[in-house]
Structure formats: C-alpha cells, structure tokens
Chains A and B, each alone.
Chain A
C-alpha cells in the first residue's frame, strides 16, 4: 500500500445560484483505487465529478493532486495551460456520450494518436503502431483504424474513447456513466474490459453511475449522493450488503433481480 493519496478533495461545494449542486464533499483517492459515485439523476454526481476534474469551478473547497514529481498541487491554483496539459496526459475523462470525448470526423487511429502527440510523440510510424495496439486492446480490429468514429456502433465508440484516454498512460481516469445507453451485452463487454485495464495498469478511477451492479463490479469504494450531499461512504461491498441510510436502503432494495 502506498502511503500517499493521489487526490485530496476537501470541502468541495458548488452552488448554482441558491441551488445546491454538491455540498462539502471530502475524500481521498489512492493509486489503484476505484471509487464509484452513485445516486439518482440530479443528486449532484456529475457536478461533483466535473468539479474534481476542473471542468467546473467549485464555489468553495480545494482539490489537491499529487504530480509525478511527488508534490501536491492545488488544481484551482494552477495555470490554465498546466491544467490542460494534466488533462491531456496524466488524466483521462470518459464521457457518457462518446461523441463528447471523440473527434467524430477524424479517423479512429488519429483519435488515439492525437493524445500521443500531445505528450510529444512525433514519429508517425510509432504513433500508428501504438494506436493499432490500443485498438486491439479495446477489441477494435486493426482494419478499422482509418475509419471515422461516425461509422462505429455505440459500443465501439465507447471502446475507442477508452483507448484514446488510456493511451498516454494516465494515473487517474474519470468516467461519467461509461455504460449508460449501451446494450446489456455491450455493457458486459465494456465492463470486463475496463475492469481488466484498471487492474493491469493500476489506475485510479472515479466512476459516476446510477447502476449499482456496475459499481459493484468496478469499484472498491462507494459514495452515495442525495440532493448534493454525500450521505453514505464506504467499502462497496459494505454499502451494498449492509446499507445504513434510508435512501441507500431504498436504492439497494430497488435493484431488479434477474
């Protein structure tokens, strides 16, 4: 167990006017750890994810990230350029809708290669080789490398988005409903893939989902949100097997059994 967290979130709150987006959220995330944020629509999960990933400026609080040199930096006190560099290299962000995370009118290979160029790769042959390798890892056949994601199915686009995010070897990946809107069989494949990649690469990840089965499969730890507040937080197995809060009990008892 490494002794330093990768991310320290303290007192993060976001208000939309007088409405609460999320309020006073505190947690730490360690390397290799997957945290699920669950709750119904409007509970503040995505607001929180966007605040942590600096896509949205919180009203209060701080988020500190341990850089590769071992020093913690407050994300909101970085320059815009530094933040963008971090997002392009050390972080990944997997959107629910792949069209938000991909460039739909350039080829699959270029979608993956673009992130490599952002970290300074210039050798075309090498970039293409790495892109092909990553397409293979997300189970997209090499002969689709020159096709645009517009020509891909929803599941393939999502896998391509994952390849694009992971190619630079990020240490932290944010995922917003990564399996939302996919067929059940496609979901299973994607989940298995994400699970394998997270294990193999030792990534830390924060996954927003309303699907408790997804959370059980992917996460070590779980935060339950309601009306902008984190109402329960603990080991995923514990939260699901022995929910303590009334709302969590309602969520868990509402899962359909197949």
Chain B
C-alpha cells in the first residue's frame, strides 16, 4: 500500500500586496511523510508555520513549489496542483481536518453538524445521526445541546462538536490542529483514546498539540518545524 501522505520540497510564502508587496517567507523545503497508523506531531514555537503546513495539506493555502502527494482511492493526487473539484473529493473521501475553531452554520443542530460528513459520503441520515450521537455522548456533550446550533456553545463544547465531526468518518488521513486546546482533562483523555483507536485502524495522522501530556500520549514521532523555517536559514 502506498504511503498515505508524502510532502516533498514544499515552499510557501505570502506576498502582501497591501503592504507594498512585501514577501513573507513561511516555510522552505518541507519534506516528510506520514505512514498508515502513525501519528506525527508538528513541533516548534508558535509562528513557525505549523498551522500553515496543515492548511497547505488541506488545500486552504496554495504552495509556491513542491508536491503534496495524497493516496486518494488508490491513486496519487498532488494537492499542490489539483483542481478544486479533486480537492473537494479528497476532503470528502480521504482527508479530514479538525480545526481549532468550528465554523458554524446558522440554524444547523450540533448533531447534524457532526453527521454531515457521513451524509456527504452517501450514508443514510438516520445511521449517520446514530453514529454522531454515539460520538457526542462519548465526548460528554450534554444531550440537551445536541439539537441546538453550536454557535452559542462554549469554546470547549464547540471543540467537542468539531472533534466528533472530524472523527466520525473513516478518512485515511486526519489533520488535527490543536483539537484538545480548550478541553478539560477528562475529555482530553477521551480524545487521546480516540486517536489511539484511529491508529489501530491504520489512519495516518498529522497534528499540532501544545499540551505536553497529550503530545506524549499520541505522538509516534515529533517533526521539528523550525528545520523548515526560512528565518533560521537567514540567521545562519
């Protein structure tokens, strides 16, 4: 089986046209891969480009050069060059993303927010909802909240909805951007267990975890992003 995710010679900078076109280099020459069943954690101080790497992999940021190769339904897709339609299909079938913040849609109930990725993959709404309910109760989200839109929820509650939504599918690759940032110890442990279960299933995971305890518990390998920092290159 091909490696689920290979990143090779990726360069990224921002050109700020509103600031006289200054160029802000973000990362240079990023190279790594994530194997099936492995959880790689991005390390390094804030502002070094960890989130940017996740956003490039998910297609939210364009890259200046390099390849992001994803094993998508037995063929290799280069996210760096793929058209929007292909990226959307990769997101639907292969690569999931749990962000720090939930982008809420007005009026959609929490349980439907969680069930949506399954429905999008053609699974019957009732079954999708059952799975969603299971995850939400596992993450200790009070049942009274399930039928409410999450826009009024607390940070930790929204994050749990977000995690449930990210973990509900059987995506082969999961990107995790600080999924435990606003959770209490009990729920952090639940997430650690959920990540362990995904590993068992052979899911390739790439994440950012600032919480040391969680990082220790989930990381198979820590990838120091400072190695790709252009600032370091300039200083040296």
* Chain A residues at the B interface, C-beta cutoff of 8 Å: 1, 30, 33, 188-189, 191-192, 195, 199, 217, 220-221, 234-238, 241-242, 244-246, 249-250, 253
Contact = CB atoms under 8 A, between A and B. Distances in A.
A69 B89 CA distance: 26
Contacts of A192: 105-108
A195 to B, nearest CB: 7
Interface in B72-98: 84-85, 87-89
B17 A237 contact: no
Contacts of B17: 245-246, 249-250
Contacts of A33: 85
A235 B16 contact: no
B59 A238 contact: yes
Nearest to B93: A1
Interface of B: 14-18, 55, 58-62, 84-85, 87-89, 105-108, 120
Contact of A234 (B14, B15, B84): B84
Contacts of A235: 59-60, 84, 87-88
A242 B60 contact: yes
Nearest to B18: A249
Contacts of A189: 106-107
Contacts of B58: 237
A250 B18 contact: yes
B224 to A, nearest CB: 24
Contact of B89 (A1, A237, A241): A1
Contacts of B108: 192
B105 A195 contact: yes
Contacts of A244: 15, 62
Given A235-B87, A250-B18, A242 B105 contact: no
Nearest to A188: B106
B88 A238 contact: no
B85 A1 contact: yes
Given A1-B89, A238-B59, A241-B60, A220 B107 contact: no
Given A189-B106, A246-B18, A220 B88 contact: yes
- Listed from nearest, the 7 A-B pairs whose CB atoms lie closest are A246-B17, A188-B106, A235-B84, A242-B61, A241-B60, A192-B107, A221-B84
